[in-house]
Amino acid sequence: MKSFSLSLANEAEVSGISSISPQSSSPHYRPLVVALHGGTYSSSYFAAGGASSALHIAEALGVPFIAIDRPGYRDSTALPPITDTSTFLQEEGIHLHRLILPAIWSEYGSTSKATTIVVLTHSLGSPGAIIAAALHAGESGPSYPYGGLIMSGWGIVQSRSNEAIRQQIDTLTVNGRINWPLEHKDAPMFGATPEALALRVSPEILSLTAELDNSMSRGEIEDGTFTWPGYWRGYAEEVKVPIMYSMAEHDGLWNTTAEHVEDFASAFTNSKRVERGIVAEAPHCMELSYWGPAWIARSLGFAMECAAAADVQFANVKA
């Protein structure tokens, strides 16, 4: 695992961590997986847990893996002020499509011998990836290949009312940033009771709660809660890449039902493949839980399938 910082075309920076395995141990069709963390975390979300972490499993499978710090997290430059004609998550998606993914592909695409990018997201990392996929699909000659999208922890109906979320936002915001009190964080992320925590996540991960924590922008949670529901389907229907989408059965932030999962997945009408499902008994932060290794292994397998399909499709077009 290596830390990195890349300069973007607009002179902003994006930081993160990477694991680029030797080509000799890699699959024939090689995806470059780019992981986007959720709110109040950072790229380290995908490195926590040692041998059970996403980066370690990717390294074992020979899959190149990049986890970035989304704009405004750690050393990644925050987004410029949002105008009245756009939203936070729209601008993050544009930033991802126009600046971050092209820079990552330029830096790591050739050296990793990858054939396409597959984006892996958790929670609030998902909206920007959806928008980037939609924008990519609408361009005739994009500067990077986008081969697939994998999402978890982002749903249709939140478990709390908008009024309760608004009250929490107003209470916790300081200078446009929100710090979630750590004593209240583990329950919605992993389980509401000590017994549930013990069943779903290791003591090692629970000991990292403070280390993994980061403040988040008020703008991303406001958009994700209050305005995103009114415009996201227009982006979803433009996405063409294959999708794998799962929600945790015991997600503390979202109301997980088969109907809600189907409602979300069915919005991607132009994708030729949309896998969807509920991971039984899992918590919101599935990647950090005891379900994490299995979910990551499935995700990396799907990413390899996406890379194979994209490469063969490109070869057929050339022929």
pTM score of the predicted model: 0.96
Note the pLDDT of residue 315.
62
Distance CA 295, CA 279 (A): 9
* The predicted structure's pLDDT at residue 141: 85
In the predicted model, what is the mean pLDDT of residues 64-71? Answer: 98
CA distance linking residue 1 with residue 47, whole number of Å? 8
Token couple for 45? 């979300």
| pLDDT score of 314 | 65
94 contacts 10 by C-beta, under 8 angstroms: no
Percentage, residues of the chain above pLDDT 90: 89
Check residue 319 and give its pLDDT.
46
Average pLDDT in the 72-96 region? Answer: 96
Lowest mean pLDDT among 123-137, 177-191, 286-300: 177-191
pLDDT above 70 coverage of the chain, percent: 97
Please name the residue that has the structure tokens 């990195």.
Answer: 4
As a whole number, mean pLDDT of residues 50-61 equals 93
Residue type, 248: A
CATH topology of domain 2-318: Rossmann fold (3.40.50)
In the structure, what pLDDT confidence band is assigned to residue 23 with cuts at 50, 70 and 90? low
Span of 49-53, 141-145, 232-236, 312-316 with lowest mean pLDDT: 312-316
Looking at every residue in the chain, the average pLDDT score rounds to 94
Q: What is the pLDDT of residues 164-181, one digit of tens each?
A: 999 999 999 999 999 999
Residue 279, pLDDT > 50, answer: yes
Phi, psi of 314 (to 5 degrees): -65, -40
Name every residue whose Cβ is closer than 8 Å to that of residue 112 and which is 6 or more positions away in sequence: 20, 30, 32, 64
Residues 194-216 have pLDDT tens digits of 899 999 999 999 999 999 999 99
Q: Where are the domains of the chain?
A: 2-318
Contact between 63 and 300 (Cβ < 8 Å): yes
pLDDT in tens, 252-272: 999 999 999 999 999 999 999
The pLDDT of residue 313: 75
> Kind of pairing, strands 65-68 and 13-19?
antiparallel
